[in-house]
Amino acid sequence: MLSTSELDTLAQQAVVDAYNEYEQLSAFHAVIEDHLIVPFQTTILGVEATVTKIDLLPGSGIVAICTREKHIRAVGILDLPTPPPTGAE
C-alpha cells in the first residue's frame, strides 16, 4: 500500500499539464488505463464480474466496464472493492 505522500506525488505527476477539472479527469483516466491490467475479476453487489476496460463517461467520470454473462455495467472506479488489481498503484 502506498503512503499518502507517495499517492500525492503520483497524483501531481498525473495532472502536471492539466489546466481544468476535465483535463485532470482525463489525465487520471489515461494513467489508470495505461497501468491497470485488465481484465480482472471483481465482486459487485455480491456477484462475480469481470472488468474488461476502464472508460471515461460524461457525467459519470472514470468507470470500470464490468461484464457477467450477457450483462454489462459501468461502475465508478472508486466503487470497486479492494484489494485492488495489479497496476492499481
The predicted-structure confidence for 22-34, as pLDDT tens digits, reads as follows: 888 888 898 888 8
The reported pLDDT for the residue numbered 55 is 95
- Report whether pLDDT(11) > 80: no
Q: CA 3 to CA 88: how far, in whole Å?
A: 14
What single letter denotes the amino acid at residue 68?
A: R
- Stretch 33-50: mean pLDDT, rounded? 89
Q: In 1-89, which ranges are continuous DSSP H helix?
A: 4-14, 21-35
CA-based end-to-end distance of the chain = 8
Residue 39: pLDDT band (50, 70, 90) is very high
Give Cα 86 distance to the centre of its chain.
12
- Report whether pLDDT(64) > 90: yes
What single letter denotes the amino acid at residue 17?
A: D
